[in-house]
Amino acid sequence: MTMITNKQTVKNKLKVLVLTLSLLAIGSCSQKENKTTKMNSDMAEQIVVSNELEAELTSPPLVPKPVGKRSAAHLKVNLEILEQEGEMVDGVKYIYWTFGGTVPGSFIRTRVGDEVEFTLKNHPDNKLPHNIDMHAVTGPGGGAASSLVAPGHEVTFSFKTLQPGLYVYHCATAPVGMHIANGMYGLILVEPEGGLPPVDKEYYIMQGDFYTKGDYGEKGVQPFDMNKALKEQPDYVVFNGHVNGLVNENAITAQVGETVRLFVGNGGPNLVSSFHVIGEIFDRVHVEGGDLINENVQTTLIPAGGAAIVEFKVNTPGTFVIVDHSIFRAFNKGALGMLKVEGKENPNVFAGKIREGIYLPEGGTIQNMPNEIPKKEVIENKTVAQQIKDGKNVFTRTCFACHQSEGQGIDGIFPPLAKSDYLNKDVNRAIKTVINGLQGEITVNNVKYNSIMTSQNLNDQEIADVLTYVYNSWGNNKTVVTPQMVQKNR
């Protein structure tokens, strides 16, 4: 018994010794890391600049050329504030307040140790004073305290870049939220000494939430709505300032085999972004724009007033949809973009559809085709008014997500039903589309679309009702579709 007790005592002492050494090692590492961080900051403060440069500024989605291995410089930045009208979505105008004439503002690229001489100009035609708070600045208000500038004036302040990272800048003039909500934000990159590792393509994307007096899609010039902003109920959540900021001709591009780096910011003013590229996985994410690297990430959170750098290699061609994965924002409020990748197909990575069959959960004795009606229907003698009412209900539960509440569709993805020449030209074609679905390129109102509409599991009466509702809404030709017309097209 004594021997066992002694052995147990020795084991316990060894455990205590190992735990103590581990804690000492952790403490030492922690102190070393803190010391290293402080030394880096102190070292950056002491870097002497060797030359003078004019900063290259770019509009989204473009970024200036990489810093590379250049030495620290006296970097001059000239940025103009412009208050100007722009288009939020087709027919919807908004008065944006901007840094450099775009939302987000001009991209600024620096390196650790740069002495930045920053000149902020407020255009004489502007109505309000503005300033700039740069999250890359170590100093009062991030520069806001030194940069308040009235219309028709300019102000210059200076700062030294001490820590690498991707940082937001924004206006901080009261009411701060209103200035940000009107588009006054952008990104400044501080590269580490020696620069970031090279990649094939780099792009600039920034999310923002907008609050208008009118609802989504309501035409005309829409003023800012403070009440909606206070309740954090945006009408629009968009990339690069408007609903079409990253689709169609504004889409970003790459070739198969290239590595893409996205500098992604979130101006807010209120919402956190769940940033995601459908069909891609981020190889590397600089979490919150800093030194911490996360790998193999599906979706990354970007806080309001924060940023992230995401990198991934594109292995197969196609259109990859960029979204805020708080998904109603993407398909109903505008937070949607496109990365168009061209190149050779890569079946080792993605082979596409390899077969299509009939799914019969009831068992093999049922031999109906998928587009046949699985239930007996009762065709009612409805009035047109009743058809429109019932058709609206069918539309809300079946068609709303893609074609939207006013039939406006989603630019570049789902065609509009409102004032649709495609629908109004051929009612039988419209009926067959609902019955059988549609795939491939079509032209609607002189705009090409190439998407997929699945066949709808609706009976003849439901199809007649929903098409009657569509044809009698949003400026269409008021055709009345009957169940008999649907039956003839089956």
Whether residue 276 is annotated as binding a ligand: the answer is no
Evaluate whether 92 touches 53 at the Cβ level (below 8 Å).
Answer: no
**Residue 224: pLDDT over 80:** yes
Of 40, 58, 52, the C-alpha closest to 102 is 58
pLDDT tens profile 113-130? 999 999 999 999 999 999
Amino acid at 190: V
> Is 313 or 391 the better-scoring residue by pLDDT?
313
pLDDT at 356 over 60: no
Answer yes or no: is pLDDT of 98 > 50: yes
Q: Rounded to whole angstroms, how far apart are CA atoms 103 and 246? A: 12
Please give the average per-residue pLDDT across 268-280, as a whole number.
Answer: 97
How high is the pLDDT of residue 420?
94
179 annotated to a ligand binding site:
yes
Give me the mean pLDDT over the 7-25 stretch. Answer: 49
- Is 325 known to sit in a ligand binding site? yes
CA distance 390 to 468: 10
Which of the 8 DSSP states describes residue 247? S
74 is in an annotated binding site: no
Residue 321: per-residue pLDDT: 92
Helix (H, G, I), strand (E, B) or coil at 261: strand
What are the structure tokens assigned to 134, written together? 């740069």
Position of tokens 């991934």? 312
Helix or strand run (H / E) with residue 10: helix 2-46
pLDDT (0 to 100) of residue 24: 45
Q: What region does 288 belong to: left with phi over 0, alpha with psi -120 to 50, or beta?
A: left
Q: Band of the pLDDT at 45, cuts 50, 70, 90?
A: confident
- Mean pLDDT value of segment 11-19: 50
CA 136/CA 159 separation, integer angstroms: 9
Local confidence band at 351 (pLDDT 50, 70, 90 cut-offs): confident
Annotated binding residue at 135?
Answer: yes
The span from the CA of 298 to the CA of 281, in Å, is 5
Q: Which two tokens mark 440?
A: 């491939």
* Confidence at residue 296, expressed as pLDDT on a 0 to 100 scale: 98
Residue 488 pLDDT > 80, yes or no?
A: yes
| Per-residue pLDDT, 353 | 67
pLDDT at 5 over 50: no
User: Token pair for residue 405?
Assistant: 């509440």
Residue 359: pLDDT band (50, 70, 90) is: low
Is residue 373 pLDDT above 70, yes or no? Answer: no
Query: Which residue has 């010794």 as its token pair?
Result: 17
Q: How far is CA 407 from the centre of its chain?
A: 23
Mean pLDDT of 419-431: 94
Q: Which residues contact 158 (CB under 8 A, 6 or more apart)?
A: 115, 116, 117, 118
286 is in an annotated binding site: no
Please check whether residue 222 is in contact with residue 96, taking contact to mean a CB–CB distance below 8 angstroms: no
Q: Is a pLDDT exceeding 90 seen at residue 370?
A: no
pLDDT at 399: 82
Q: Please, what sign has the CA dihedral across residues 395, 399, 402, 408?
A: negative
For 53, the enclosing helix (H) or strand (E) is strand 51-54
The more confidently predicted of residues 457 and 107 is 107
Range with top average pLDDT, 191-195, 361-365, 404-408: 191-195
pLDDT band at 406 (very low <50, low <70, confident <90, very high): confident
Q: Is residue 456 a contact partner of residue 486, using CB atoms and an 8 Å limit?
A: no
- What crossing angle do the helices spanning 384-398 and 460-471 adopt, rounded to 10°? 100
| Amino acid 143: pLDDT | 96
Side chain identity, residue 23: L
Q: What is the mean pLDDT of residues 8-29?
A: 48
In the predicted structure, residue 279 carries a pLDDT above the cut 60: yes
- CATH architecture for segment(s) 53-342: Sandwich (2.60)
| Helices 460-471 and 427-436: angle between axes, nearest 10 degrees | 130
Q: Which residue has the higher pLDDT, 375 or 262?
A: 262
pLDDT, mean of residues 206-213: 98
- Give which of 283, 280, 284, 281 is closest to 317, Cα–Cα: 280
**Could you tell me which of 393, 391, 394, 412 has the C-alpha nearest to residue 476?**
391
pTM: 0.72
* pLDDT for residue 451: 76
Known binding residue 403? Answer is no
Phi first, then psi, for residue 145 (nearest 5°) are -65, -20
Distance CA 212, CA 389 (A): 29
- Per-domain boundaries in the chain: 53-342, 384-488
Query: Residue 411 is encoded by which pair of tokens?
Result: 């630019």
Q: CB within 8 A of 56, min separation 6: which ones?
A: 64, 65, 109
Q: What is the pLDDT of residue 185?
A: 98
Reply yes or no on whether the pLDDT at 52 is more than 50: yes
> Predicted confidence band at 316 (pLDDT cuts at 50, 70, 90)?
very high
The pLDDT > 70 percentage for the chain reads 86
Q: Which three-class secondary structure state does DSSP give residue 404?
A: coil
Mean pLDDT score of the chain: 88
> Rounded mean pLDDT of 269-274?
98
Q: Compute the half-sphere exposure of residue 464: CA atoms within 13 Å on the CB side of its CA.
A: 25
pLDDT tens sequence across 433-455: 999 888 888 999 999 888 778 77
Q: Is residue 465 scored above 70 in pLDDT?
A: yes
Are 248 and 319 in contact by the 8 Å Cβ rule? The answer is no
* pLDDT, tens digit, 9 for 90 and up, residues 135-180: 999 999 999 999 999 999 999 999 999 999 999 999 999 999 999 9
Range among 6-10, 76-80, 391-395, 449-453 rated most confident: 76-80
Decide if domain 384-488 falls under CATH 3.40.190.290.
no
Q: DSSP assignment of 202-246, as one string? A: EEEEEEEEE-BSSPTT--EE--B-HHHHHTT--SEEEETTSTTTT
Residue 31 phi/psi, 5-degree rounding, is: -65, -40
> What is the spatial distance between Cα 421 and Cα 477, in angstroms, rounded to a whole number?
10
What b-and-e string marks burial along 79-106, b requiring 16 or more CB atoms within 10 Å of the CB? Answer: bbbbbeebebbeebebebbbbbebbbbb
Nearest in space to 476 (alpha carbons), one of 412, 430, 439, 411: 430
Residue 352 is predicted with a pLDDT of 76
Q: Residue holding tokens 């030709």? A: 477
Question: What is the mean predicted confidence (pLDDT) over 61-77?
Answer: 96
- Residue 367: the pLDDT is 39
3-class DSSP assignment, residue 73: strand
